Amino acid sequence: MLVEQNQKKHTELWKVSDNVMELKSSIIREILKVSSKPGVINFAGGLPAPELFPIEELKEIAVQVLDKYGPDCLQYSLSRGLPALRELLAKRATERGTPSGIDNILISNGAQQAIELVARAFIAPGDYILTENPTYVGALQAFNYYQAKYTTVDIDDEGMNVDQAIEKIERFKPKLIYTISNFQNPTGITMSLKRREQLVEVARNYNIPILDDNPYGDIRFSGERLPTLKSIGGNEVIAVRTFSKTLAPGMRIGWINGPENIIAQFEKVKQCADLHTSTFCQYIVYEYVNQGLLEPHIEHIKVDYRTKRDIMLKGLQEHFPPGISWTEPEGGLFLWLELPKQLSSVDLFEEAIENKVAYVYGQPFFPDGGGLNTLRLNFATASHEQIAKGIKRLGELFTKYV
């Protein structure tokens, strides 16, 4: 094919990322295979629970938006996003401890585009990014495209190990600190207040921006809400948020809260990239939030997810053998298991599927490799009964090998 021969440059770009991309793709293939097998209880997905999507409310809102705004909700709009929505998001951030104006906000196609805009701005080929180990694979995909390298830091019950971060920063001089501070994907761990303050101090001392990827922060169903990294770190921190986990991912509405000069640059890039995010979806989300429908909806999600998390934790306590540990997240969608060192969650995956239960093995979440004995469970999407049954099946499987 002739076109192919012109793609040398693209192939070059892709070189570094192919490995992680392929790993990620193989997980997705496994998940798809699993989902299509009848009777398999699926803890593998990264999705929010679809039965909680407020379909009836959105039906009304969609009609209202078309009635109220007419052609405006179907026309071209601004690259930064709908002013009314940006104003609303700035107001909410201010109320929650991050003083923000409309010029601090840019609407993106979900959080993924926000992460990619940051990667474009800060990462040149060979630049290091400091990440938690493990971390979110979707962000790595965006970073990989810009040929980032990674230096990683362990994560414990309080989040990223900041002392280790300092060592890595001195050694690798990363250009960006990437963290998921709340109910981290994949571990479910939340960074403690002390660590947040320490991390901001480190970022200031070494002059490295923090990208705080925070899709789950609003879904806290136990413990106390902590100040966000952005509210502590101000202009040191670029906060990436999304309605994908609180309202619906299919809307593709995320946003960035960042310094005005950075947002102005992102606006230019966004304009080149796709002009702007769907006007219609932005109006729908705006009306949904502005009419006060989001908060009660999030409360509803929280009750559901908390109940499911509790069922899963109970099952783990009852059916899992000693030597396996897990996190107890106070929010989000995921919890994280560590098997004894000698066990491989990759090797056991097939047998899990034979036993009609699916998880994501942890390995691909580790930029530096490792994590063969770890796995992620999504507690948000299965039914109560399925969770109880699925965890029992997993417990029986692991008991055979521990």
Structure tokens, 160: 């990223």
The nearer residue to its own copies, 14 or 401, going by C-beta atoms, is 14
Minimum Å gap between C-beta 278 and its own copies is 5
Work out whether 98 is an interface residue with its own copies (CB under 8 A).
no
Q: Which of 3, 39, 170, 322 touches its own copies (CB under 8 A)? A: 3
Binders of its own copies: how many residues, by CB under 8 A?
A: 83
248 contacts its own copies (rule: CB under 8 A): yes
Residue environment code for 276-305, b if the CB has 16+ CB neighbours within 10 A, otherwise e: bbbbbbbbbbbbbbeeebbeebbeebbebb
Find the shortest distance in angstroms from Cβ 291 to its own copies. 17
Three-state DSSP class for residue 359 = coil
* Nearer to its own copies (CB atom), residue 161 or residue 179: 179
Q: Which of 200, 281, 272, 188 is nearest to 239 (CA)?
A: 200
**Vertex 230, ends 210 and 172: CA angle to 5°?**
15
Q: Is 134 in the site for its own copies (CB under 8 A)?
A: no
List binders of its own copies among 29-58 (CB under 8 A).
46-47, 50-51, 53, 55, 58
- Calculate helix-pair angle for 110-122, 260-274, nearest 10 degrees: 110
Closest CA to 119 of 26, 213, 233: 213
CA distances 39 to 353, 355, 356, 358, Å, are 10, 10, 6, 11
Contacting residue, 83, 250, 296, 369, with its own copies by CB under 8 A: 250
Q: How far apart are CB 284 and its own copies at their closest, in Å?
A: 8
DSSP state of 136: -
Residue 108 engages its own copies in binding (rule: CB under 8 A): yes
Interaction between residue 59 and its own copies (CB under 8 A): yes
By CB under 8 A, name the one of 98, 104, 109, 231 that touches its own copies: 109
Tokens of 57: 């409310």
Residue 10 binds its own copies (CB under 8 A): yes
Report, in Å, the least distance between residue 401 CB and its own copies: 33
| Burial tier of 208 (Cβ tally within 10 Å: 0-12, 13-18, 19+) | buried
Which positions from 188 to 207 touch its own copies by CB under 8 A, shown as an x/- string? ----------------x--x
Residue type, 259: P
> Rounded to whole angstroms, what are the CA distances from 156 to 45, 120, 360?
24, 30, 20
**For residues 248 and 245, what is the distance between their CA atoms, to the nearest angstrom?**
6
Least distance (Å) between residue 177 CB and its own copies: 11
- The correct pick among 75, 222, 317, 325 for binding its own copies (CB under 8 A) is 75
Q: Is position 122 an interface residue for its own copies (rule: CB under 8 A)?
A: yes
The distance of closest approach from Cβ of residue 10 to its own copies in the complex, given in angstroms and rounded to an integer, is 5
For position 149 contacting its own copies by CB under 8 A, the verdict is: no
Among 27, 31, 41, 73, the residue binding its own copies under the rule CB under 8 A is: 73
What is the C-alpha to C-alpha distance for residues 280 and 347, in angstroms, rounded to an integer? Answer: 46
**Residue ranges in 362-381 that form contacts with its own copies under rule CB under 8 A:** none
Q: Which CB atom, from 123 or from 335, has the smaller least distance to its own copies?
A: 123
- Considering only 81, 110, 331, 332, the residue that binds its own copies (CB under 8 A) is 110
Query: For its own copies, which is the closer residue by CB, 116 or 330?
Result: 116
Give the footprint of its own copies on residues 268-287 (CB under 8 A): 268-269, 271-281, 284
Query: Which of 324, 390, 376, 384 is closest to 188 using CA atoms?
Result: 376
For position 120 contacting its own copies by CB under 8 A, the verdict is yes
Between residues 107 and 339, which has the closer beta carbon with respect to its own copies? 107
Q: Going by C-beta distance under 8 Å and a sequence separation of 6 or more, which residues neighbour residue 314?
A: 388
By CB under 8 A, tell whether 72 contacts its own copies: yes
Binders in 319-338 for its own copies, by CB under 8 A: none
* CA–CA distance, 55 with 284 (Å, rounded to integer): 12
Contact predicate 98/228, CB 8 Å: yes
Residue 209: CB minimum distance to its own copies, A: 5
